[in-house]
Amino acid sequence: MLRGLYTATAGMLTQQRKHDTITNNIANINTPGFKQSRAVSRSFPEMLIGLMEGKPGMEVMNKGRLNTGVLAEEALTVNVQGELRETSNPFDFAIVSDIQVDGLRFDGGKTITEDGQRIFQPQAFFTVAAADGVERYTRNGKFSVNEQGELRTAEGFRVLGENRQPIILLDSVTQIPITNVTVNKYGQLLDSMNGQALLDAQGNPIRMLLSRVENPIRMIPEGSGLFRMEQGDEGTVTQVAVADNVEVKQGFMEASNVDPTQAMVDIMMATRMYEANQKVIQAYDKSMEKAVNEIGRV
């Protein structure tokens, strides 16, 4: 009898995690570049039920299989392009990414091959420097220039150039931060006044480091729109090539890809399923109460 009690409890825990994941998505509807997550559930391994007489030489008779519950295995990020919204702010940037892989056709950021293999579409990200020195990746392109001329994210992380050094926009003569900046579709920074390429301290053209992540599903979200790579997967990140179908749009922001209508439907469904499992536990509780208080008296 208690087996069903544990099964219902596992169902409640799973629905609670789904609810938490959806709530986080709803809370970030207005976060630029936010990618929603989906909780993936998996059933416990099935158990083989057998009947044995207990006599020597008797064979076990298989009665069937039994599943003992479900668990929320992981929360997967949905890397689908969000809607672009024009802001006219010269330091707002959005990435339009549609990287293709030969022989594959992606739908919703993923595809399934004939042999059942699931492959996710590579994605492009801005690259920033974290305090620990490890690179982070983001689609939130709301940047600004501080008094030192450093191009930074809204959270204060320094934006990296293709030389993997922070982008610094200072006038070489006056040492005043440069604010008249134009960025082309390749992420190269130009002077808005004369159209000339802006140069770093070594005299090289300044260009944003756009990183191509081959398997974005393995990225670990850290909050504030930042992702880091799983340890050992750093080699799957390369610089976006000109041939990749990736474009930087200045004066635009990428909105979150959360569908508010679907999110509300999902959260209501998770709540209803949680309540259903709760009623199962209450029914078991009443049954055990009767067993202890009534049957035990006989």
User: Per-domain residue ranges for the chain?
Assistant: 2-77+259-297, 88-254
Name the token pair of 17. 């995690």
Is the model's pLDDT at 29 over the cut of 70?
yes
- 132 or 25, higher pLDDT: 25
pLDDT tens digits for range 166-185: 999 988 778 888 889 999 99
How is 19-57 classified by DSSP, letter by letter?
HHHHHHHHHTTTSTT---EEEEEEEPPPEEEEE---STT
Q: Which helix (H) or strand (E) holds 286?
A: helix 260-293
| Beta carbons of 225 and 203 less than 8 angstroms apart | no
Picking from 167, 216, 168, 206, the residue whose alpha carbon sits closest to that of residue 186 is 206
> Residue 5 has what pLDDT?
83
> Residue 159 has what pLDDT?
96
pLDDT tens digits for range 270-287: 999 999 999 999 988 888
pLDDT tens digits for range 39-86: 888 877 777 676 666 566 556 666 667 677 787 877 888 888 999 999
> Residue 125 has what pLDDT?
96
Q: Which of 22-36, 63-77, 135-149 has the lowest mean pLDDT?
A: 63-77
Its pTM stands at 0.82
pLDDT tens digits for range 92-141: 999 999 998 887 888 888 888 888 888 889 999 999 998 887 899 999 99
> Residue 52 has what pLDDT?
65
**CA atoms of 261 and 109, how far apart (whole Å):** 20
What are the CA-CA distances from residue 221 to residues 78, 83, 203, 217, 257 (Å)?
12, 20, 35, 10, 15
pLDDT tens digits for range 188-247: 999 988 888 998 888 889 999 999 999 998 899 888 789 999 888 888 899 999 889 999
> Residue 237 has what pLDDT?
93
> Residue 276 has what pLDDT?
94
Is the model's pLDDT at 149 over the cut of 60?
yes
Per-residue pLDDT band at 252 (split at 50, 70, 90): very high
> Residue 287 has what pLDDT?
85
Per-residue pLDDT band at 296 (split at 50, 70, 90): low
181's CB contacts (< 8 A; 6+ apart) are 90, 91, 169, 189, 190, 191, 192, 198
